[in-house]
Amino acid sequence: MVSASGAVPPPSREDAARLRVKVEAIERNGLAKRPAALVTRVSEREVNAYLAFDAKSELPAGFTEPRITVLPDLKLSGTATIDLDALRKERQSRSWLDPLNYLGGKVAVAVSGRLTSSNGLARFALDRATVGGITVPKMLVQELVTFYSRTPDNPHGLNLDAPYPLPARIRQIDIRPGEAIVRQ
């Protein structure tokens, strides 16, 4: 929807609610003994509304203003503002060489790459990551991904170079302009 001025209105709570309904349907279908061949379209707008209104309690400490964008070449771009002081309090440094020991304040972060998936597995191939507009090495991004993706079932977290299983019996996610198509 475009306003009379040509501007796209910001994501709304209604957009976030639409995504919640879709996610619940995907989860229910994934729990079924014989899941249906369900195809669900999820818009970029719905994802960003969810991030703005519903995901705050699920985001790591110090992460604000998250946004996902499908780029013209169908790569994904994720941006956020990170409070490095809050991040440092939550994450224990492992060495004096840790670059996060020497950074502080709130900074803009951005990552871009390509999401591919098939047969219930996905992989995000990182192209670029920046902190405060400065390109950072993949090793630093991996350190943060590892830290924030650890679970009791996966104490080592996700590896950026390895495929990872999709939840709810999702077989594939296709990225299209302005949307993702989730296939179960």
* Residues 136-177 pLDDT 10s: 999 988 988 887 888 899 899 999 999 999 999 999 999 999
Task: Supply the pLDDT for residue 34.
Answer: 95
| Residue count of the chain | 184
User: Encoding tokens for residue 28?
Assistant: 């229910």
pLDDT digits (tens, 9 = 90+) for 103-117: 678 999 999 999 999
Q: What is the dihedral of CA 108, 157, 112, 121, to 10 degrees?
A: -150
184 within 8 A of 170, measured Cβ to Cβ: yes
48-57, 77-86, 142-151: the lowest-pLDDT one: 142-151
